[in-house]
């Protein structure tokens, strides 16, 4: 059977790059874009992406598994590693593990301050029609319910001057209320990072240790050691070419754009929301920050 490997991480944490570089291994394949519409098949009316196990049925499980292999362009009985990353899955680890009981998980964590600033920019950028059409080509007619929600979300976002939609990224419980109550976008993006990371950590803690691995973005961009560790965890073979490609692409620089891109007010709002999680993960010293 194929070896499903699910990459978890808050939006703008580098999960796309990690998926793409790992999929260059000879015995690997990938789903080329986020497929939240697949994961939410039959659960479109649920208000957020933290799907409970009670929503999962055999019909939904079969559909999700079939679509992952179809989009990765490998049969289910292939012996290749199949990488899938959808940022909303950070909020539903138990659900994903029940769909793929044989899957391994990679949790990529990035400094929440850099993620918050990047998410703010992404949410407010113009709609990427090329990327949208690419996803539409892979859309099954059985996902029409999600497509309807997505269209309304985009139109509401455009009306508000945000190309990313009324809500963007993982729909954490309460994100719609936060938007409608007019919370600052820096608070929403900081909360999105915080809930995504903590939900993934809590969900993975319930799985056997040999089924998941954690990697920091800051380690990933420093060289090849972290990527080699992940590749070995995934059971990939002949990885030297992949490691050489990675070494050419990364520059070893940690992104500090948030330091000058965010105002002092925005930094305070961000720290008020994400500060405890940042401290827990070793990114900030709360006493020094205060």
Q: Specify the pLDDT at position 230.
A: 98
Question: What average pLDDT is seen over the chain?
Answer: 92
| pLDDT single digits (tens) 202-243 | 999 999 999 999 999 999 999 999 999 999 999 999 999 999
* Cross-strand pairs, 214: 107
pLDDT digits (tens, 9 = 90+) for 7-32: 999 999 999 999 999 999 999 999 99
List, in order, residues 6 or more apart from 259 with CB less than 8 Å away. Answer: none
- Looking at the predicted structure, is the pLDDT value of residue 130 above 60? yes
Please determine, for residue 131, whether its predicted confidence score (pLDDT) is greater than 80.
Answer: no
Per-residue confidence band for 125, with pLDDT thresholds at 50, 70 and 90: confident
- pLDDT, position 132: 67
The pLDDT of residue 140 is above 90: no
Residue 136's pLDDT is 65
User: What is the average per-residue pLDDT within 88-108?
Assistant: 98
pLDDT of residue 250: 87
Q: Is 28 helix (H, G, I), strand (E, B) or coil?
A: strand
Q: Is the pLDDT of residue 134 over 80?
A: no
Q: Which of residues 283 and 157 earns the better pLDDT score? A: 283
**Residues whose CB falls within 8 Å of the CB of residue 205, separated by 6 or more in sequence, listed in order:** none
The CATH number of the domain covering residues in 3-289: 3.40.50.300
Short-list 284, 274, 265, 278, CA closest to 184: 265
Looking at residue 217, its pLDDT comes to: 95
Beta bridge partners of 8: 107
Q: Which residue bears the tokens 């990371």?
A: 197
CB of 112 within 8 A of CB of 27? no
Q: Would you say residue 34 has pLDDT above 80?
A: yes
**Is the CB of residue 93 less than 8 Å from the CB of residue 200?**
yes
202: helix, strand or coil: helix
Q: What is the pLDDT of residues 248-281, one digit of tens each?
A: 998 777 678 899 999 999 999 999 999 999 999 9
Residue 148: pLDDT over 90: no
- Give whole-number Cα distances, 56 to 4, 96, 114, 138, 160, in Å: 18, 10, 34, 23, 34
pLDDT for residue 1: 64
**Cβ-count burial 254-280 (b if 16+ within 10 Å, e if not):** ebeebeeebeeebbebbbebbbebbbe
Q: Report the pLDDT value the prediction gives residue 129, as an integer from 0 to 100.
A: 67
Per-residue pLDDT band for 139 (boundaries 50, 70, 90) equals low
pLDDT at residue 143 is higher than 60: yes
Tell if the pTM clears 0.85, that is, is over it. Answer: yes
Split at pLDDT 50, 70, 90, the class of 158 is: confident
Is the predicted pLDDT of residue 169 greater than 80, yes or no? yes
- Tokens representing residue 222 in the block: 């420093």
């Amino acid at each position: 059977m194929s070896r499903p490997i699910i990459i978890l991480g808050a939006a703008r944490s580098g999960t796309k790059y990690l998926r793409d570089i790992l999929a260059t291994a000879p015995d690997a394949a990938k789903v080329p874009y986020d497929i939240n519409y697949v994961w939410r098949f039959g659960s479109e009316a649920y208000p957020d992406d933290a799907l409970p196990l009670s929503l999962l049925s055999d019909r939904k499980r079969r559909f999700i598994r079939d679509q992952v292999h179809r989009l990765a362009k490998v049969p289910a009985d292939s012996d290749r590693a199949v990488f899938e990353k959808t940022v909303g899955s950070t909020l539903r680890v138990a659900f994903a593990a029940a769909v793929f009981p044989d899957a391994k998980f990679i949790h990529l964590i990035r400094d929440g301050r850099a993620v918050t600033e990047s998410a703010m920019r992404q949410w407010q950028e113009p709609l990427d029609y090329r990327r949208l059409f690419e996803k539409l080509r892979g859309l099954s007619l059985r996902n029409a319910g999600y497509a309807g929600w997505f269209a309304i979300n985009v139109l509401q976002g455009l009306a508000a001057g945000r190309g990313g939609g009324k809500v963007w990224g993982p729909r954490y419980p309460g994100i719609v209320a936060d938007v409608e109550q007019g919370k600052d976008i820096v608070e929403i993006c900081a909360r999105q990072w915080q809930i995504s990371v903590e939900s993934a950590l809590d969900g993975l803690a319930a799985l056997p240790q040999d089924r998941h691995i954690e990697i920091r973005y800051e380690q990933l961009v420093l060289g090849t050691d972290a990527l080699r560790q992940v590749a070995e965890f995934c059971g990939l073979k002949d990885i030297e070419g992949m490691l050489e490609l990675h070494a050419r692409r990364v520059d070893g620089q940690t992104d500090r754009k948030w330091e000058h891109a965010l105002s002092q007010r925005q930094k305070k709002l961000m720290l008020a929301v994400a500060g405890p999680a940042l401290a827990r993960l070793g990114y900030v010293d709360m006493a020094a920050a205060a």
